[in-house]
Structure 1
Amino acid sequence: MSDMYYNRAKQEGYRARSAYKLKQLDETAGLFGPGNTVVDLGAAPGGWSQVASERVGEQGTVIAVDLQRIEDIDGVETLRGDMTDDDTRERIIERVGEADAVVSDMAPNMTGEYHLDAARSAHLARMAFETALELLGAGGDLAVKIFEGQDVAPLREDMESEFEYVRAVHPDASRDSSSELYLVAKGRLTAPVREGDELTVDIVDEGSEGDGIAKVEGFTVFIPDAATGEEVDVRVDDVKPRFAFAERR
């Protein structure tokens, strides 16, 4: 299997066989759209950035970040720096402003000691997640590599509180012997409310479906069977990137 992807990468002009992992993640989860801004963390030698650049097109922006030098790629801007360094993360945020997607194929230098390698992988994955929280606008997406082990569940749980949903994906292009998986988080939640929150709100308007509309720090919350002018006690039961639903309590 691995030789097939290696040979295809050579034939199709990708710098690394890992390009096919990102293609498969995009096909599975819809990470990129035309005109998107994408940040590729741990990008060297550049296979993922090549794929991202193809998918976002000429109107899109791809910023590739790595400590190693990345040879020029058409349509890709490179930023050299160490992702474990706060200064690098600040430079990315300064340069990008707001991104539509953050992807990370970062892996530690392997020691061959599985628990150590898995722990280091989880540390890099968490750094990618924390960087993504600062970069992604509402509805933005994240894909991050992590080695299987005890650190996957806590990271996934933290990601689930910040995104609409998270899924674990094993791309076909991963080597058969590999313990890597990708956590793909869709729909960055920047809302001031979270599922389960209990609030008292004023109904300020009515939606097209007849639901009452409340505003929480400018964020729209729909409440069924509530009329304009009412003050209601509600529990939030579903949060989307740009609005939420709540029920009376």
Structure 2
Amino acid sequence: MTGKDEYYNRAKQEGYRSRAAYKLKQLDGEAELINGGDTVVDLGAAPGGWLQVATELAGEGGTVVGVDLQRIDPVDGVETIRGDMTDKETRERITDRVGEADVVVSDMAPNMTGEYSLDHARSVYLARTAFETALELLAPGGDFVAKVFEGPDTNDLRADIDEEFEYVRTIHPNASRDSSSELYMVAKGRLTAPVREGDRLEIEIEDVGSEGDGIGKVEGYTLFVADTEPGDTVEIEVTDVKPRFGFAERIE
């Protein structure tokens, strides 16, 4: 049995709208994307296979919103927005509706032309559109997934995503066809900090943490600095940035 037949048949038997549902299941299994109670936004959601999986993972306490230019048949507990993701108006409608999301996923793909370089470039454009939308929507620590066709622009896209998250990895789910060049950028831990690794700045130590490190603030963001005490004003270099706090070393 071919991979296509296997996942197509499983989708029919298990009530999923597309074989693509298993891609999100496998991505979640590897990267732990969606938890109970999460708010999830699915970009390019038609026909709704990913919405079905997202609602299962987010549970009754979760919120799932699907967006697509095509009509999406109703999915229990899911709100849909009909619009073109490349239009600013559609992105504004999503932001107004959702406010803040825990996870943004995108399985968007261009209409295929058969010309690989063009299809690749268009897939990168759609992935960037999803990425820019995710930056507007995601809460600190939130996760992002986007499909892209592998090619010369993939590394630049990954580097740009990596700057905004704790880390990013590429995953090729087993449910993808063997002949497919698609891969998924999976980014974990949205960073909203006003600093990045390597930044050097002066900071005043205001308090001491439970591990004995000094605590300073940059625009409300907490930095832990070893070998400092409250009242110190020190030059530091940022060494590690997490979604809600970071670490720095004193520059002697």
Q: Given residue 131 of structure 2, which amino acid in structure 1 is its aligned partner?
A: F
Q: How far off is 1:2 after superposition?
A: 1.5
2:227 aligned to 222, 225, 228, which one?
225
- The unaligned stretches of length 5 or more in structure 2 are none
1:167 aligned to 133, 145, 169, which one?
169
Q: Given residue 138 of structure 2, which amino acid in structure 1 is its aligned partner?
A: L
Q: How far off is 1:151 after superposition?
A: 1.2
Q: Given residue 113 of structure 2, which amino acid in structure 1 is its aligned partner?
A: T
Whole-angstrom CA distance in 2 between matches of 1:208 and 1:216: 19
Alignment of 1:115-154 (within 5 A): 115-154=117-156
Q: How far off is 1:248 after superposition?
A: 1.1
- The unaligned stretches of length 5 or more in structure 1 are none
Partner of 1:99: 101
Q: Given residue 223 of structure 1, which amino acid in structure 2 is its aligned partner?
A: V
Q: How far off is 1:208 after superposition?
A: 0.3
Alignment of 1:5-20 (within 5 A): 5-20=7-22
Can you list the C-alpha shifts for 1:166-220, whole angstroms capped at 9, x where unaligned?
Answer: 0000000000000000000000000111111101000000000000000001110
Whole-angstrom CA distance in 1 between matches of 2:31 and 2:134: 17
Partner of 2:71: 69
Q: What is the DSSP-based 3-state SS (H/G/I as helix, E as strand, rest coil) of the residue aligned with 1:78?
A: strand
Whole-angstrom CA distance in 1 between matches of 2:160 and 2:215: 29
Q: Given residue 138 of structure 1, which amino acid in structure 2 is its aligned partner?
A: P
Whole-angstrom CA distance in 2 between matches of 1:67 and 1:151: 26
Q: What is the DSSP-based 3-state SS (H/G/I as helix, E as strand, rest coil) of the residue aligned with 1:174?
A: coil
Whole-angstrom CA distance in 1 between matches of 2:134 and 2:35: 18
Normalising by structure 2, we get a TM-score of 0.98
- Identity over aligned residues, as a percent? 71
Whole-angstrom CA distance in 1 between matches of 2:171 and 2:97: 30
2:211 aligned to 209, 212, 215, which one?
209
1:23 aligns with 2:28: no
Q: How far off is 1:128 after superposition?
A: 0.2
Whole-angstrom CA distance in 2 between matches of 1:159 and 1:84: 18
Q: How far off is 1:84 after superposition?
A: 0.8
Partner of 1:193: 195
1:177 aligned to 179, 185, 192, which one?
179
Whole-angstrom CA distance in 1 between matches of 2:158 and 2:200: 24
RMSD: 0.4
Whole-angstrom CA distance in 2 between matches of 1:123 and 1:151: 10
Q: How far off is 1:150 after superposition?
A: 1.0
Whole-angstrom CA distance in 2 between matches of 1:168 and 1:84: 24
Q: How far off is 1:75 after superposition?
A: 1.2
Partner of 2:57: 55
Q: How far off is 1:96 after superposition?
A: 0.3
Partner of 1:241: 243
1:85 aligns with 2:103: no
Whole-angstrom CA distance in 2 between matches of 1:138 and 1:202: 24
Partner of 1:109: 111
Q: What is the DSSP-based 3-state SS (H/G/I as helix, E as strand, rest coil) of the residue aligned with 2:158?
A: helix
Q: How far off is 1:244 after superposition?
A: 0.3
